[in-house]
Amino acid sequence: MSATMTAVDVPPPARPKRLGRLPRRLVRPATAVLSGVLLFLSFPPRPLWWLAVPGFALLGWTLRGRRLRAGFGLGYLAGLGFLLPLLVWTGEEVGAVPWLALVAAESLFVAAACCLVAAVSRLPAWPVFAAAVWILGEAARARVPFGGFPWGKIAFGQADGLFLPLAALGGTPVLGFAVALCGFGLYEALRQVIAYRATGSLPRGPLAAAALSLFLPVTAALAAQPLVSDAAEDGTATVAAIQGNVPRLGLDFNEQRRAVLDNHARRTEQLAADVAAGRAPKPDFVLWPENSSDLDPYRNGDARFVIDEAVKAIGVPTVVGAVVTPETGPLRNTLIQWDPRSGPVATYDKRHVQPFGEYIPMRSLVRIFNKDVDRVSRDFGPGTEVGVFDLAGTRVGLATCYEAAFDWAVRDTVTHGARLISVPSNNATFGRSEMTYQQLAMSRVRAVEHSRSVVVPVTSGVSAIIRPDGTIVRESRMFTPDALVAEVPLRSSLTPATRMGTLPEALLVALAAAGLGWAASGAVRRRRAATPGTANA
Task: Inform me whether the pLDDT recorded for 17 exceeds 70.
Answer: no
Beta bridge partners of 333: 323
Report the share of the chain in percent with pLDDT over 70: 93
- Residue 290 designated active-site: yes
Q: Which of 136, 210, 142, 185 is nearest to 508 (CA)?
A: 136
Question: How far is the C-alpha of 518 from the C-alpha of 507, rounded, in Å?
Answer: 16
The residues, ordered by sequence, that sit 6+ positions from 200 with a Cβ below 8 Å of its Cβ are none
Mean pLDDT for the stretch of residues 471-477: 97
| Predicted TM-score of the model (pTM) | 0.92
Task: Inform me whether the pLDDT recorded for 526 exceeds 90.
Answer: no
pLDDT band at 18 (very low <50, low <70, confident <90, very high): low
Give the pLDDT of residue 249. 54
Write down the mean pLDDT value for the chain: 92
Which one of 188, 290, 403, 505 is the catalytic residue? 290
pLDDT in tens, 395-429: 999 999 999 999 999 999 999 999 999 999 998 88
Which one of 153, 350, 449, 505 is the catalytic residue? 350
Mean pLDDT for the stretch of residues 373-384: 86
What is the secondary structure of 398-418 as a DSSP string?
Answer: E--GGGGGSHHHHHHHHHTT-
Mean pLDDT for the stretch of residues 154-170: 98
What is the secondary structure of 258-321 as a DSSP string?
Answer: HHHHHHHHHHHHHHHHHHHTTSSPPPSEEEPPTTSB-S-TTT-HHHHHHHHHHHHHHTS-EEEE
Which one of 92, 153, 401, 403 is the catalytic residue? 401
Give the pLDDT of residue 255. 54
Mean pLDDT for the stretch of residues 438-454: 98
Helix, strand and coil in the chain, % to nearest 5 = 55, 15, 35
Give the pLDDT of residue 253. 46
pLDDT in tens, 175-225: 999 999 999 999 999 999 898 888 877 777 788 888 899 999 999 999 999
Can you tell me whether residue 165 is helix, strand or coil? coil
Beta bridge partners of 349: 334
The residues, ordered by sequence, that sit 6+ positions from 320 with a Cβ below 8 Å of its Cβ are 288, 292, 293, 297, 307, 311, 335, 336, 338
Question: How far is the C-alpha of 175 from the C-alpha of 163, rounded, in Å?
Answer: 7
Give the pLDDT of residue 479. 92
pLDDT in tens, 91-127: 887 788 889 999 999 999 999 999 999 999 999 999 9
Question: How far is the C-alpha of 290 from the C-alpha of 426, rounded, in Å?
Answer: 5
Q: Which of 111, 132, 110 is nearest to 179 (CA)?
A: 132
pLDDT in tens, 291-326: 999 899 999 999 999 999 999 999 999 999 999 999
- Residue 350 designated active-site: yes
Give the pLDDT of residue 10. 47
Task: Inform me whether the pLDDT recorded for 49 exceeds 50.
Answer: yes
Task: Inform me whether the pLDDT recorded for 147 exceeds 90.
Answer: yes
Give the C-alpha distances (Å, rounded to integers) separating 367 from 73, 362, 430: 30, 9, 21
pLDDT in tens, 255-291: 577 889 999 999 999 999 999 999 999 999 999 999 9
Question: How far is the C-alpha of 423 from the C-alpha of 440, rounded, in Å?
Answer: 9
- Residue 312 designated active-site: no
